[in-house]
Amino acid sequence: MTRCIFCEIIAGKLPARKVYEDELSVAFWDARPASPIHILIVPKLHVPTLNDIPDHDPLLSHLGCVARKIAMELGVADSGYRLFINVNRGGGQVVFHLHAHLVAGNDVGTFFIHAAIAGSVLWRKLIGLFRGKTRSPHRCLETEAVSGLRATTGPAGLLEKFRATLTS
Ligand code: 5GP
Ligand code: ZN
């Protein structure tokens, strides 16, 4: 496999401003944000494009669930956001490790969005300091399929199970 920037971020070899992480996925701020809010939601497995996900795979709904959760945390779930996946070069994909873009904040007063994000991040950091935690403790409400898999495999086996569904 050629060098993959997102695999390196997942492995902790490259820095990223993470906002969420669980056994299956990680989310972090885009290095070159196109909007006041621009988060990338990335599966931990190296899956090159959306076309490589089998039918009925629960990974996609898990990523959707993570996106929704982050939108709620950043306070844009009600005001609105866009969630999109670029597929292959013609679709604008540059990094060939599947990821969803969560963007928000362009159509509303940008200053207020920046202020709201800064306030929200600061507030969470303060709460984290008091609780002795550095990362937000939230987890995604999981699809039945994902929690069902975890019940049979345990957290360590969950990623392997998904690897198997992709290669079978
Ligand atoms: P694509 O065009 O493949 O759908 O989107 C790739 C995204 O990854 C772009 O928005 C780009 O700014 C972002 N990106 C590329 N390299 C890095 C990096 O090293 N760190 C982060 N956080 N984002 C990156
Ligand atoms: Zn990768």
Test site for ligand 1: of 7, 14, 40, most ligand atoms within 8 A of the Cβ:
40
Structure token digits, residue 79: 């005001």
Does the pLDDT value for residue 140 go beyond 80?
Answer: no
Which ligand 1 atom is at minimum distance from the Cα of 38? 10
Residue 114 to residue 119: CA distance in whole angstroms: 8
Using an 8 Å Cβ cutoff, are 65 and 143 in contact? yes
Strand extents, DSSP E, 12-146:
18-21, 25-29, 37-43, 82-84, 100-104
Tokens linked to 4: 């993959």
pLDDT tens by residue, 123-134 = 766 776 666 554
Ligand 1 pocket at CB < 6 A = 5, 14, 16, 28-32, 40, 86, 92-95
| 119 or 58, which is more confident | 58
> How far apart are alpha carbons 80 and 37 in whole angstroms?
11
In ligand 1, which atom is closest to the CA atom of 96?
3
Q: What pairs with residue 18 in β-bridges?
A: 28
Over 50: is that where the pLDDT of 136 sits? Answer: no
CATH of the domain at 93: 3.30.428.10
Cα 106 to ligand 1 centre (Å): 19
* 41, 60 Cβ separation under 8 angstroms: no
Evaluated on CA atoms 16, 135, 24, 27, the torsion sign reads negative
Q: Which of 9, 17, 19, 95 to mutate to test the pocket of ligand 1 (most atoms within 8 A of CB)?
A: 95
Query: Distance between CA atoms of 74 and 11, rounded to whole angstroms?
Result: 25
The answer to whether 46 is a known catalytic residue is no
Contact at 8 Å (CB) between 69 and 62?
no
Q: What is the pLDDT of residues 22-38, one digit of tens each?
A: 999 999 999 999 999 99
Q: Which two tokens stand for residue 12?
A: 């902790």
Structural domain count, the chain: 1
Which region holds residue 30: left if phi is over 0, alpha if psi is between -120 and 50, else beta?
A: beta
Tell me the residue range of the domain where 148 lies.
Answer: 5-167
Residue 46 Cα to ligand 2 middle (Å): 4
pLDDT for residue 43 is more than 60: yes
With contact defined as beta carbons under 8 Å apart, do 97 and 166 qualify? no
Q: Which of 46, 99, 114, 138 is labelled catalytic? A: 99
Q: Which residue, judged by its Cα, is nearest atom 17 of ligand 1?
A: 31
140-148 average pLDDT score: 62
